[in-house]
């Protein structure tokens, strides 16, 4: 009787540990971290023609992520540098997107990164096993330490 209880306990614990590890890996590699409240700070002020525009987001040097734009018209989102040079805005499907960091518009509009990849400086990067971008863009592992499952020195 005690042996079967011990076996059930061991099985239950192994299942719980497996689920927790799977959730941790999924959270580490999750690409759905989209903060729609994020704002882009333009590196240069917009031209006077934009300030007179009816659109609210063109009035200053801050553009809210996902703000509407039109690629066929002259607008603030076409090739404008933002966030001290770390962002490059483009008008993708009528919304301002940072093509250097947006996983759905990586490097150019409509270029989607695969599962487990993040958009790092406009290139889809496998952050699960990249020692220079381990778990997130730019997170470097120490020399001689491998990046495994988005963690430096996993296991």
Name the pLDDT band for 33 (thresholds 50, 70, 90): very low
Domain that holds residue 49: 39-98
If you average pLDDT over residues 7-32, what whole number do you get? Answer: 62
CA pair distance 133, 65, nearest whole angstrom: 24
Number of structural domains found in the chain: 2
Q: 15 and 63 in one domain?
A: no
Is the residue at 128 inside a domain? yes
CA 132 to centroid of chain Cα atoms: 16
Q: 44 and 90 in one domain?
A: yes
Predicted TM-score of the model (pTM) = 0.63
Q: 48 and 24 in one domain?
A: no
Name the pLDDT band for 81 (thresholds 50, 70, 90): confident
Q: 119 and 88 in one domain?
A: no
- pLDDT at position 73 is 63
Name the pLDDT band for 60 (thresholds 50, 70, 90): low
Q: 92 and 70 in one domain?
A: yes
């Amino acid at each position: 009787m005690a042996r079967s209880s011990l076996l059930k306990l061991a099985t239950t614990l192994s299942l719980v540990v497996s689920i927790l590890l799977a959730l941790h890996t999924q959270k580490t590699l999750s690409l759905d971290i989209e903060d729609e409240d994020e704002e882009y700070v333009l590196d240069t002020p917009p031209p006077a023609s934009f300030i007179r525009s009816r659109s609210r987001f063109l009035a200053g040097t801050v553009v809210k992520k996902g703000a509407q734009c039109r690629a066929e018209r002259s607008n603030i989102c076409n090739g404008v540098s933002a966030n001290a040079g770390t962002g490059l805005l483009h008008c993708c499907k009528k919304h301002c997107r940072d093509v250097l960091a947006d996983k759905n518009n990586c490097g150019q509009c409509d270029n989607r990164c695969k599962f487990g990849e993040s958009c790092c400086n406009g290139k889809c990067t496998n952050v699960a096993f990249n020692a220079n971008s381990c778990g997130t863009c730019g997170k470097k592992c120490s020399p001689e330490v491998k990046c495994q499952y988005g963690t430096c020195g996993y296991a």
